[in-house]
Amino acid sequence: MWESLVESVPNVSEGRDRAAIEAMATAIREVTSVRLLDVQSDRDHHRTVFTLVGEPDGVADAILRLFAAALPRIDLRTHRGEHPRMGAVDVVPFVPVRGVTMADCVVLARRVGREVWDRFRVPVYLYEEAATRPERRDLAEIRQGQFEAFPEKIKQPEWAPDFGEPAVHPTAGATVIGAREFLIAFNVNLGTSDLKIAKAIAQAVRGSSGGLRYVKALGLTLEERGIVQVSMNLTNYRKTPLARVVEMVRAEAVRYGVSVVGTEIVGLIPEQALFQAAAHYMGVEQFSPDLVLERRVDSALKGR
Amino acid sequence: MWESLVESVPNVSEGRDRAAIEAMATAIREVTSVRLLDVQSDRDHHRTVFTLVGEPDGVADAILRLFAAALPRIDLRTHRGEHPRMGAVDVVPFVPVRGVTMADCVVLARRVGREVWDRFRVPVYLYEEAATRPERRDLAEIRQGQFEAFPEKIKQPEWAPDFGEPAVHPTAGATVIGAREFLIAFNVNLGTSDLKIAKAIAQAVRGSSGGLRYVKALGLTLEERGIVQVSMNLTNYRKTPLARVVEMVRAEAVRYGVSVVGTEIVGLIPEQALFQAAAHYMGVEQFSPDLVLERRVDSALKGR
């Protein structure tokens, strides 16, 4: 029974060389107190996303081993892919899952960031909840200019790295490490083929254009089904709960005389997000995860 | 990590003698592969309900130890309480929780039933999902007449016990053992003090009077809050899901011009019932518990 669970989703700038990717996966698997849940490589993006989960110390160890495996195998000077990148190990978020706070993950991000500089001489920026200044919260803003522009960017005082000297690693660039909430990918399918409606609803619900703070959304067509979809990323399900998002999309759909034909959870969803939605819709007065049988059993198992 | 989890909720005819109750709790706790989650004694009922959970073999062992501890301490010839009873250990249900089917629990009930007769000479009836004939599904029907009438009832051919000879144990009577679904206690609070409305809604939703098959319901007054409540037991949340019950109560409340001010989960609820409700209300197209992060992590932990 692991009481403290952290997820990490490192993005590495290698999506083509099977042997290199397998070497990195093996490095992660060597740590007994973590599990590698998923490896997704994209040739066009030339990028691989690893999903691992485990005890905080184990996850920190696995990330450092991943750096050790990735750095000799990736040379950004010759790297060309569709996805923006500034580092060989490009971005490393830590996500609280169970028995761990966001503050714990910020501490973890700082610890790993310092170590990445000390051991590998790769300068590190802290982002999202671990950011040291507001303009460094957003990954896209830090990464702007990419590997090619970084030798100059890093010399500007306002872009001095959080760990390390203001000079990029010759082949591995710089790395972004931080802490964030679990990201839920959630789609709502509409009973129409009119893409304009999906785009209008996406615009209405997403935070950037005036909608819900922690929603990113876009409208797209599902060719095979002949319908359209509002495709969303929920970046903080605690503050912008799933049920509120669904109800806002439904209300907008009604406004266009269109029905919601179904929804989809893409990838994984934390149980807490589902408990929250159930309690919301059923109007439970004093909901607590302690009411859940399996949680109580787990607590009893730990207590022994 | 325990892969197979069974719950058992034995009801014992002793609710007053602290030392006796503690001896029974200790007997259960002796088994390392079970956890005693709860002990509730009622002096008026003269009855104690133990809630334990664990691996099937461990739970079977704990129940037999409970019999060994209870039998020398309880004499039904002098037992008087408000709650109906026919045995010292009155009723023992086994409930599938995780990685265990109802069929597994039926097998467990039979195994423990046979052993109770072999070791303690207490005749055993099988009930609910473990019943050997339709009229033995219902506990109340088996127990009808109680301990006092059983010496005669047990001699009738149609009431021959499932295990043992047709004669009650002199001090411990007979025992009912079986398998059933997890029971959810769920209340809906109404924005009115009119008890007639709560009673009318209870009658509309409960299976016995034409409502939902696996709902038991009654209307009652919450004196302190000055409102009324539809108090329910959901005896099979897989076949009569929580969301459908809530929506039926809401629809009936509308019919009386009354609002639902809140709901309450009493005791514990299986995570599956909440996942189900969330997926229902959000219209998730292909929901599976495999989408839940914590389930995936648990599977990964087991897989190693």
Query: Please, what is the average pLDDT of chain A?
Result: 94
| A178, two tokens | 């931080």
Which CATH number belongs to the domain containing residue B90 in this structure? Answer: 3.30.990.10
Instruction: Say whether pLDDT at A192 is over 60.
Output: yes
DSSP 8-state secondary structure symbol assigned to residue A257? T
User: How many CA atoms lie within 13 Å of A109's alpha carbon, on the beta-carbon side?
Assistant: 32
Q: Are residues A143 and A197 in the same domain?
A: no
Q: How far apart are CA A180 and CA A57, in angstroms?
A: 18
Q: Are residues B91 and B152 in the same domain?
A: yes
Q: Are residues A101 and A11 in the same domain?
A: yes
Q: How far apart are CA B74 and CA A207, in angstroms?
A: 66
Per-residue pLDDT tens over the stretch A86-108: 999 999 999 998 889 999 999 99
Average pLDDT over residues B272-284: 96
> Could you tell me if residue B288 is inside a domain?
no
Query: Starting at the edge strand that comes first in sequence, how are the strands of the sheet with B215-222 ordered?
Result: B215-222, B227-234, B184-190, B260-266
Chain A nearest CA to B134, separation (Å): 30
Q: Are residues B263 and B133 in the same domain?
A: no
**Which one of A263, A294, A301 would you mutate to disrupt binding with B, by most B Cβ within 10 Å of its Cβ?**
A294
Average pLDDT over residues B297-303: 75
Per-residue pLDDT tens over the stretch B147-178: 999 999 999 999 999 999 999 999 999 999 99
Q: What is the extent of the structural domain holding A258?
A: 184-270
Q: Are residues A121 and A168 in the same domain?
A: yes
Average pLDDT over residues B117-124: 98
Chain A nearest CA to B106, separation (Å): 21
Q: Which of A179, A200, A218 is the last residue of a domain?
A: A179
Of the pLDDT bands very low, low, confident and very high (cuts 50, 70, 90), residue A1 is: low
- Alpha carbon distances (Å) from A141 to A105, A121, A146, A159, B34: 21, 23, 10, 11, 53
Q: Are residues A160 and A255 in the same domain?
A: no
Question: Which residues in chain A are contacts of B279 at CB distance < 8 A?
Answer: 274
Instruction: Say whether pLDDT at B130 is over 60.
Output: yes
| A207, two tokens | 């935070």
What does the pLDDT read at residue B140? 87
Confirm or reject contact between A238 and chain B (CB < 8 A).
Answer: no
CB contact under 8 A, B271 and A278: no
> Could you tell me if residue B79 is inside a domain?
yes
Q: Which of A179, A211, A241 is the last residue of a domain?
A: A179
Question: Which residues in chain B are contacts of A283 at CB distance < 8 A?
Answer: 246, 260, 262-263
Which pairs from B119-122 meet CB under 8 Å and 24+ separation? B119/B64, B119/B67, B119/B68, B120/B67, B120/B68, B120/B71, B120/B169, B120/B172, B121/B164, B121/B169, B122/B67, B122/B71, B122/B87, B122/B88, B122/B89, B122/B164, B122/B169, B122/B172, B122/B173, B122/B174, B122/B175
What does the pLDDT read at residue B303? 62
Q: Are residues B148 and B252 in the same domain?
A: no
DSSP 8-state secondary structure symbol assigned to residue B87? B
Query: Please, what is the average pLDDT of chain B?
Result: 94
Residue bearing the bigger pLDDT, B267 or A251: A251
Question: Which residues in chain B are contacts of A35 at CB distance < 8 A?
Answer: 297, 300-301, 303-304
Report the catalytic residues of B.
83
Pairing of strands B124-128, B47-54: unpaired
> Could you tell me if residue B122 is inside a domain?
yes
Average pLDDT over residues A198-216: 96
> Could you tell me if residue A296 is inside a domain?
no
> Could you tell me if residue B49 is inside a domain?
yes
Q: Which of A153, A179, A205 is the last residue of a domain?
A: A179
CB contact under 8 A, A268 and B293: yes
> Could you tell me if residue B11 is inside a domain?
yes
Q: Are residues A152 and A206 in the same domain?
A: no
pTM: 0.81
Q: Are residues B148 and B18 in the same domain?
A: yes
Report the catalytic residues of A.
83
> Could you tell me if residue A275 is inside a domain?
no
What does the pLDDT read at residue B300? 79
Chain A residue at shortest CA distance from B270 = A293
Q: How far apart are CA A98 and CA A8, in angstroms?
A: 13
Q: How many CB atoms lie within 10 A of CB B18?
A: 9
Chain B nearest CA to A38, separation (Å): 11
Which CATH number belongs to the domain containing residue B249 in this structure? Answer: 3.30.70.670
ipTM of the predicted structure? 0.81
> Could you tell me if residue B273 is inside a domain?
no
Q: Where are the alpha helices (DSSP H) in chain B?
A: 18-29, 56-70, 102-120, 139-143, 146-153, 195-205, 242-255, 271-282, 293-303
CB contact under 8 A, A262 and B284: yes
Query: Please, which residues have CB within 8 angstroms of residue B65's CB and are 6 or more apart in sequence?
Result: B27, B28, B30, B31
- Alpha carbon distances (Å) from A50 to A21, A26, A59, A87, B154: 10, 11, 12, 15, 65
Percent of chain A scoring above 90 in pLDDT: 86
Which of A84, A54, A86 lies closest to A151, judged by CA?
A: A86
Q: Are residues B65 and B98 in the same domain?
A: yes
**Which one of B274, B276, B280 would you mutate to disrupt binding with A, by most A Cβ within 10 Å of its Cβ?**
B274
Domain count, chain B: 2
**Which one of B36, B55, B264, B294 would you mutate to disrupt binding with A, by most A Cβ within 10 Å of its Cβ?**
B294
Q: Are residues B29 and B135 in the same domain?
A: yes
Q: Are residues B106 and B36 in the same domain?
A: yes
Q: How far apart are CA B281 and CA B260, in angstroms?
A: 17
Phi and psi dihedrals of A151, rounded to 5?
-55, -35
Q: Among all chains, which residue has been given the structure tokens 């030392």?
A: B19
